[in-house]
Amino acid sequence: MMHLPLALLPQGAEGADAAQTLRLDSLYDLVVAGGPLMIPIALCSVVALTYMVERSVRLRRGKLGGARFERELLDALGARGSAGGLAACQGSKTAQARVIAAGLRHADASWMQREKAVEDAGAREVERLSANLRPLVVIGMIAPLLGLLGTVWGMIDAFANIALADGLGKPETLAAGISQALVTTAAGLCVAIPAQAAYYWFRSRIDRFVHRTEDLYMQVTDTLGGPAVTVAEDPSGGGPALAGVEA
């Protein structure tokens, strides 16, 4: 039996219209086919992109701290003690420097006071770094739901049109409506997947910052003498924070 392409099969006027509707050759055609719910999905994409760019700038290595600052700090501590280390921290505008500086300001205090100062400074930095990650989580959850809502609404509309137009026995008419309805689901997933991926990537950068700062402060503690520092959970649920424990 010969199988003819769909375009060569005889169609009525309604079938031709349905086949024409299936042509989604450009991004504009996709957006229009998705219907009104493409508007909030598009807004979600703009908001997600804005927060991705903002967090990319805020969480870059130059803002968090790195190997260069660590070398300068340890060299200053070895040469001039806690005063030299504090001067090195004050000369660096990184989150790592602010946490270490909190401990060095209390270098002559008891280990409990130094521990509390580092813990508070670490918690503040983690909270600041995590501040604008929540919108990415929210968008990652609601964008697929908006897409699903658009699909359900489109399916309802497609079946209603078939019923009103007596389209039973014309699968091309139903296929056109379903293809348009699925556009919103695809759009929602295209927004949600990058948002979720960006959130976990930024979260991993914050975790690495915490552990690296912990290791650095342990080296500082070995030089000054006092408690070591470990990682504790942030009470606000935002992830790990710095906390000290007695060595």
The DSSP bridge partners found for residue 20 are: none
Separation between Cα atoms, residue 227 and residue 244, nearest integer Å? 7
pLDDT at residue 163 in the model: 72
Helix-helix angle 67-90:95-104, to 10 degrees: 50
Query: Rounded mean pLDDT of 158-186?
Result: 72
Whole-model pTM over 0.85: no
Separation between Cα atoms, residue 61 and residue 49, nearest integer Å? 20
- Which residues lie closer than 8 Å to 113 by C-beta, 6 or more apart? 106
Give the type of residue at 80: R
Per residue in 227-246, pLDDT (tens digit) is: 444 444 454 455 554 544 33
- Is there a contact between 213 and 65 (Cβ–Cβ < 8 Å)? yes
The domain limits of the chain are 38-151+189-247
The DSSP bridge partners found for residue 243 are: 230
Would you say residue 118 has pLDDT above 50? yes
pLDDT at residue 173 in the model: 64
pLDDT category at 47 given cuts 50, 70, 90 is very high
pLDDT at residue 221 in the model: 80
Comparing C-alpha atoms, which of 141, 147, 241 is closest to residue 199? 141
What value does the mean pLDDT of the chain take? Answer: 76
Query: Rounded mean pLDDT of 66-82?
Result: 82
Handedness of CA 112, 113, 118, 124 (dihedral sign): positive
Pick the more confident residue, 15 or 218: 218
Per residue in 83-112, pLDDT (tens digit) is: 888 888 888 888 888 888 888 887 777 777
Would you say residue 135 has pLDDT above 80? yes
pLDDT category at 145 given cuts 50, 70, 90 is very high
Query: Rounded mean pLDDT of 2-14?
Result: 38
Comparing C-alpha atoms, which of 180, 177, 172, 176 is closest to residue 147? 180
Give the type of residue at 214: E
Would you say residue 3 has pLDDT above 70? no
